[in-house]
Amino acid sequence: MTAEHLREMEKEIIGEIWTSDEPWRNLVYLCDDLGHRFAGTQREHKAAEYLRARMLDYGLENVRLEAFPMASWERGPCRLTLTSPLERPLPAVAMPYCPSAVLEAEVIDVGEGELPDFERLADQIPGKVVLTDAETNRPGERKSHRTDKFNWAIERGAIACLFINQNPGQLHITGSLSGRGPQSSLAADREAAIPGIGLSYETGHALRRLAQRGPIRIRIETQNRTFDAVSYNVVGEIPGAEHPDEIILVGGHYDGHDISQGAGDDGAGTVVGLEVGRVLARLKGKLRRTVRVICFGAEELGLLGAWHHAALHARPGSGERFRFVLNLDGAGRGAGGQEQLTLSGLPELVPYFTGLARVLKYEFAVRDELHSHSDHFPFAVRGIPNATLNSRDSTAGMIGRGWGHTEADTLDKVSLRGLQMAAVLAARLVLWLSEDETFPGRQRSLEEVRQQLADAGILERVQQAGRFPPA
Ligand SMILES: [Zn+2]
């Protein structure tokens, strides 16, 4: 294989992407026709059927739905009322896995809700409702995840948790809550121990100002249902000609939150992954290794599709070897041109990818940061080289998840050009990862991974969830 030959293949796939609006049309169907694709619902299942049909259209092979049992959730009414010092209704949404509840209690504001905040206020938390920012990280910054704060609140005796959206605009924040029995996929275990409620920035800050004047009380009345259901990964392949058992896995998650269209999180990444499959299928028979396109189900409820796929395929004795996993959670958002590749605990691969950016003559940011909150992680804990490609949404001043996890994660925030730019980069990366014999990535041992998780301060949480060592 000459560099010349690789160049010809690149030109073909790049030309194909830039002269097609296929990813946009797919995203319109997922967002406008189906709307939300909450895991375990009819709409998610319809999306799975649609994605499967597209893979067949594009000529992918071994196209299949990979079913797995999981707990889904259905929201009912959620009424939040300020009862003291004033009486007034407040707009609010229950968050996935929130149990039904009727309760009234005093509110304790823990501010950003980092661990030191919870430690400082520990003796004031029992029996109260915790008020906290949801997630406050700016781009490139890592702050605690919503579920960490939720667990810290429960451990200190809180009876409910109110999460404040980090961005203004009267938008409620959502996101799944951690369950009573994280090791189980049964509805009875996945339901959260206490209610978790999402507030807008404006409602949250109004409560915060009142709390500075003196004690405030709120009442929560909410009815929701956690139930046993099924979700699917959608999988298709372009078999490798020389090393069919060596796999480059690429794709995003097609499920989303029920209060939005899930356009940027992660409809965009899903259709970018499909586009990679569509154009690489044109090279069938010429690729050395197998490219497996996956649309993960149920990411938003705990990476459930990715855990399932990793457990089935990325284990000793499966006969498959994962050379690289390219997660597309957040790829294709915004206007394009601000793509970022985040390796997860693989600093030694940063020079390879920054060098590749020069070879490709396309600028993208490369960094390394071990984190556990997207579909790369079930592969990372198995020591598999992996990265997440995402596109910065250029909306100025947004922090945390931006429009993500709010009602405003809608199709109008995504553009065909943003999808095309991410697809070009993702397809070229996958092509190189399939063909380049000098790729220096290697599988880490479980002992190395254990040390990395410990160094990152997340080993204990991963163990509590029954995810390490991986089953
Ligand atoms: Zn996502």
Chain segment 218-247, per-residue pLDDT in tens = 999 999 999 999 999 999 999 999 999 999
pLDDT digit string (tens) for 297-312? 999 999 999 999 999 9
Nearest Cα neighbor of 350 from 366, 326, 328 is 366
Residues 239 and 328 in one domain: yes
Structure-token pair, residue 299: 């990411």
The pLDDT of residue 182 is above 80: no
Q: Separation of 265 CA from ligand 1 center, angstroms? A: 4
More confident residue, 188 or 396: 188
The pLDDT of residue 471 is above 80: no
Q: Separation of 327 CA from ligand 1 center, angstroms? A: 10
Nearest Cα neighbor of 260 from 24, 28, 27, 31 is 31
Kindly indicate the confidence band of residue 317, based on its pLDDT and cuts at 50, 70 and 90: confident
* 102-111, 248-257, 364-373, 397-406: segment of lowest average pLDDT: 397-406
Which of 177, 208, 226 terminates a domain? The answer is: 226
Q: Which residues contact 376 (CB under 8 A, 6 or more apart)?
A: 306, 325, 327, 329, 344, 386, 387, 388
State which amino acid sits at residue 375.
Answer: D
Q: Separation of 260 CA from ligand 1 center, angstroms? A: 13
Residues 311 and 440 in one domain: yes
The pLDDT of residue 393 is above 90: no
Nearest Cα neighbor of 220 from 101, 130, 74 is 101
Nearest-angstrom CA–CA distance, 60 and 291 = 10
Residues 380 and 457 in one domain: yes
Nearest-angstrom CA–CA distance, 412 and 401 = 17
* 5-9, 61-65, 378-382, 450-454: segment of lowest average pLDDT: 5-9
For residue 143, what pLDDT is reported? 87
Q: Separation of 184 CA from ligand 1 center, angstroms? A: 22
The pLDDT of residue 181 is above 90: no
The pLDDT of residue 446 is above 80: yes
The pLDDT of residue 1 is above 60: no
For residue 344, what pLDDT is reported? 95
Going by the DSSP 8-state scheme, the letter that residue 85 receives in this structure is S
Q: Which CATH number belongs to the domain containing residue 27 in this structure?
A: 3.40.630.10
Domain holding 312, by residue range, is 3-71+229-464
Q: Separation of 267 CA from ligand 1 center, angstroms? A: 9
Q: Separation of 124 CA from ligand 1 center, angstroms? A: 34
The pLDDT of residue 2 is above 90: no
Residues 134 and 28 in one domain: no
* Ion ligand 1 — residues with CB < 5 Å: 265-266, 329
Residues 112 and 261 in one domain: no
Residues 253 and 371 in one domain: yes
Residue 471 forms part of a structural domain: no
Q: Is the dihedral of CA 452, 133, 252, 14 positive or negative?
A: negative
Q: Is the dihedral of CA 248, 370, 259, 421 positive or negative?
A: negative
Which of 226, 249, 268 terminates a domain? The answer is: 226
The stretches of 58-182 forming alpha helices (DSSP H) are: 115-120, 146-155
* 110-124, 147-161, 346-360, 395-409: segment of lowest average pLDDT: 395-409
Q: Which CATH number belongs to the domain containing residue 217 in this structure?
A: 3.50.30.30
Residues 93 and 46 in one domain: no
Structure-token pair, residue 14: 């790049």
Structure-token pair, residue 215: 């004690």
Kindly indicate the confidence band of residue 52, based on its pLDDT and cuts at 50, 70 and 90: very high
Number of separate domains in the chain: 2
Residues 86 and 200 in one domain: yes
Residues 448 and 353 in one domain: yes
Please say whether the beta carbons of 219 and 283 come within 8 A.
Answer: no
For residue 274, what pLDDT is reported? 98
Query: Long-range pairs for 372-376 at CB < 8 Å and ≥24 separation?
Result: 372/458, 372/461, 372/462, 373/145, 374/299, 374/303, 374/327, 374/329, 375/252, 375/253, 375/296, 375/299, 375/303, 375/305, 375/306, 375/327, 375/329, 376/306, 376/325, 376/327, 376/329, 376/344
Q: Separation of 259 CA from ligand 1 center, angstroms? A: 14
% pLDDT > 90, the chain: 89
φ/ψ of 117, rounded to 5, equals -65, -45
Residues 234 and 381 in one domain: yes
φ/ψ of 385, rounded to 5, equals -60, 135
Residues 132 and 27 in one domain: no
Which of 226, 258, 285 terminates a domain? The answer is: 226
Q: Separation of 266 CA from ligand 1 center, angstroms? A: 5
Q: Separation of 77 CA from ligand 1 center, angstroms? A: 26
Residues 403 and 420 in one domain: yes
For residue 396, what pLDDT is reported? 65
Nearest-angstrom CA–CA distance, 291 and 237 = 6
Nearest Cα neighbor of 341 from 455, 450, 430, 270 is 430
Q: Mean of the per-residue pLDDT values for the chain?
A: 95
pLDDT digit string (tens) for 137-151? 876 677 899 999 999
Q: Which residues contact 404 (CB under 8 A, 6 or more apart)?
A: 264, 265, 330
* pTM across the whole model: 0.96
Q: Which residues contact 120 (CB under 8 A, 6 or more apart)?
A: none
Nearest-angstrom CA–CA distance, 201 and 204 = 5
Average pLDDT over residues 33-42: 96
